[in-house]
Amino acid sequence: MAPAPELLPYQRIREDLFRPLSRVSRRYVLATVCAFVVGAAGLAAWAYQLRRGMGVTGLQRPVFWGFYIVDFVFWIGISHAGTLISAILRLTDAAWRKPVTRAAEAITVFALMIGGMFPIIHLGRAWLFFWLLPYPNSRLLWPNFRSPLLWDLTAIVTYVTGSIIYLYLPLIPDVAQLAEHNTPWRRKLYRALSLGWTGSDREWHALERAMKLMACIILAVAVSVHTVVAWDFAMAVAPMWHSTIFGPYFVAGAIFSGIAALLIVMSLLRKVLHLETYLTPHHFRNLGKLLLLMSLLWLYFTMSENLTVWYGNEPKEMAVFGARTRAQYAPYFWIMVVLNFVIPFVLLGIRRLRTIANTTIAAVCVVVGMWLERFVIVVPTLANPRLPAAASSYAPTWVEIAITAATFAAMAMLYMIFAKLFPIIAVWEFKPHPPEDE
Amino acid sequence: MSITYRWGMAIDLDRCTGCEACVVACHAENNLPVSTPEQAAKGRTAHWIRVDRYYEGEFPDVKVKYMPVLCQHCDNAPCEPVCPVHATYHNPEGLNVQVYNRCVGTFYCANNCPYTVRYFNWFEPEWPAPLDLQHNPDVAVRMTGVMEKCTFCIQRIKRAKEGAARDGRRLADGDVNPACVQSCPAEAMVFGDLNDPESRVSRLARNGRATRLLEELGTKPKVFYLQKVK
């Protein structure tokens, strides 16, 4: 077994982790460009939608929320990777977290940037999105703070701001190191970002305190954000949306998919940036166990939600329940159960199978499964409204599929660029006793 | 202002023949766009009033029940609090109104409407000739991307009130009728002021046959459906 990365000499760690920044392979550039092209195609699809109208989507009465809202909830869920892993582990002082935190925090920021686009993409008149912001205007109107969408907007803006700060703070000592020897434009960039960091005792103490504080704040914000996202649904009087369990159910689901996303990113980084010494089987095992725990928690919530509805046997709710589990949307529901529970349970529950490759497979299953979960929550309820005569169904068009694909490409592109600009593992965290070192 | 009006409607389901004259009249009065067969198949039609059909029994012994469904103008409307930009709100006469210019199209109101009576403009509205020449000048044509719904023909109410104000009197029962009520050949629909206990609609609302749609949700709808309870 490889030694724990903490035990390596600091000089070697520094070289290992700064190396990916100075060298970019052809294949890496090609992959980034491919991701850009797919992302640009999504933007083109959106432009087409803006020009023609929302009719180019598969939305129809009464299914007014479709792929875009599913994507929105999905990406906000993915964003829970960073905060939870990094903040909880930082607060509990878990030593093994060191190589994982920045990778997770970066996911949070990018997933939020992408997820935050969807409420705008989804608007009938997207060019007027700023009417949701409270600002003095010629219409003499404040936005309606009774609307869960306003709570949503407030929560997400807070979360984006907080998570950018949370990503940025631990980056400062690293960019200060990078500013020392580098190509001219990079030196400029890093020097600006390092905010004149010199590494004095006072600065280290301030940074420590700021990071502790932000970890506490961001935890509370993260929980509240996904609760509010859940309330977008739960506050409506629609069957199987109007449920008290939705807040915690969505938070658990978000953490679940967030951990899975982190595992996928970690196994890619490990291979592509040759970080095998740093992202060790130990990290995959620990996060794999956490994923298993969340899988069980997810199953518990899903059971509680569906069992009570089924036993209660209320006709309007049963129409939705039937559509989910027996009729049109049943394939999605049961595939979701297999991906979110059966496969992870086998691959992560049996110790012998808990390898890096299998953990990654389980993580991919969970990410797909959690996307399906959001679909199963959003669409069947809308397709089966209270007046049965108005029932209908939904299938996406190429516009929605293109935009959805583009979000994954955008995530990949942003991440690949980030990993070449900043060390994806916090180097200074390996420094023995930082304050005395200076 | 003295006593304001509180508009309501009564629909006698035992009289309704399902002829859909109300739907056509509404289209003509309110400048509703006409959709193509393809769009209609996708559920993209806009009918501020629609006639839902429910079937009882097995073929050939089928009985059809017709139910005209329009905005119920709930006193406790679920669509109102969820709009982030105040595009849907309650006016002083109890009407649940939609301000098209404010709407940004979040769809939330439509999702939270238990009656599914909100309609969206999926594209720029179009009218095949010669329908484009018969627009009602009293009603705005709605742009793409906004939600719309039944207004109880607010333009007619406004006009009638102005007429009554000139004569210095209150609107009398029957002075104003929405297009659907006016066109109903079976006279199944009655419109009027619920604040006036002697108006026809108030009397029908007190009728033993009167129920309200999904009233168990606490929405307090102002449309009363009359039917014999078996």
* pLDDT, mean of residues B203-225: 94
A431 or A404, higher pLDDT: A404
pLDDT tens, residue by residue, A221-231: 999 999 999 99
CA distances from A42 to A28, A51, A353, A381, B221 (A): 21, 14, 38, 28, 43
What CATH number does residue B95 fall under?
Answer: 3.30.70.20
Tokens of A306: 């569906």
Distance between A235 CA and the closest CA of chain B, angstroms: 9
pLDDT tens, residue by residue, B34-84: 888 888 888 888 999 999 999 988 888 998 999 999 999 999 999 999 999
pLDDT value of residue A437: 47
- As a whole number of Å, the CA-based R_g of chain B is 18
Sign of the torsion formed by the C-alpha atoms of B90, B94, B100 and B104: positive
Q: Is residue B59 part of a domain?
A: yes
Question: Is the model's pLDDT at A80 over the cut of 50?
Answer: yes
**Which residue in A304, A300, A310 sits closest to A345, CA to CA?**
A300
pLDDT value of residue A186: 86
**Which residue in B44, B5, B176 sits closest to B122, CA to CA?**
B44
Distance between B124 CA and the closest CA of chain A, angstroms: 7
Question: Residue A419 burial (CB < 10 Å; 0-12/13-18/19+)?
Answer: buried
pLDDT tens, residue by residue, B168-180: 998 999 899 999 9
**Which residue in A110, A101, A77, A379 sits closest to A251, CA to CA?**
A77
* Best to test chain A binding among B48, B54, B111, B120 (most A CBs inside 10 Å): B111
Report the chain A residue with the minimal C-alpha distance to residue B87.
A144
Cβ–Cβ of A122/B121 closer than 8 Å?
Answer: no
Cβ–Cβ of A389/B54 closer than 8 Å?
Answer: yes
Question: Is the model's pLDDT at A3 over the cut of 70?
Answer: no
- B52 to chain A: which residues are within 8 Å by CB? 387, 389-390
pLDDT value of residue A265: 93
List chain A domain ranges.
Answer: 27-124+161-437
Task: Report the C-alpha gap between A199 and A218 in whole angstroms.
Answer: 25
Task: Report the C-alpha gap between A162 and A218 in whole angstroms.
Answer: 6
Q: Is residue B2 part of a domain?
A: no
Q: How confident is the model at residue A434 (pLDDT cuts 50, 70, 90)?
A: very low
Task: Report the C-alpha gap between A318 and A311 in whole angstroms.
Answer: 10
Question: Is the model's pLDDT at A1 over the cut of 70?
Answer: no
pLDDT tens, residue by residue, A317-368: 999 999 999 999 999 999 999 999 999 999 999 989 989 999 999 999 999 9
pLDDT value of residue B3: 63
Distance between A123 CA and the closest CA of chain B, angstroms: 5
The HSE-up count of residue A140 (CA atoms within 13 Å, CB side) is 0
DSSP string for A203-264 = HHHHHHHHHHHHHHHHHHHHHHHHHHHHHHHHTS--TTTS-TTHHHHHHHHHHHHHHHHHHH
Question: Is the model's pLDDT at B139 over the cut of 90?
Answer: yes
The ipTM value here is 0.91
* pLDDT, mean of residues A163-180: 90
Average pLDDT over chain B, rounded to an integer: 92
> CB-based contact (8 Å) between A51 and chain B?
no
Q: Is residue B1 part of a domain?
A: no
pLDDT value of residue B14: 93
User: Which residue(s) pair with B90 in the sheet?
Assistant: B96
Tally of structural domains, chain B: 1
Rounded to 10°, the helix A246-272/A281-312 angle is: 150
Q: How confident is the model at residue A2 (pLDDT cuts 50, 70, 90)?
A: low
* pLDDT, mean of residues B111-129: 93
Distance between A4 CA and the closest CA of chain B, angstroms: 51
Percentage of chain A exceeding pLDDT 70 = 97
Strand, coil or helix: what is B186?
coil
Say if residues A190 and A182 touch (Cβ distance below 8 Å).
yes
Average pLDDT over chain A, rounded to an integer: 90
Range of the domain at B206: 7-226
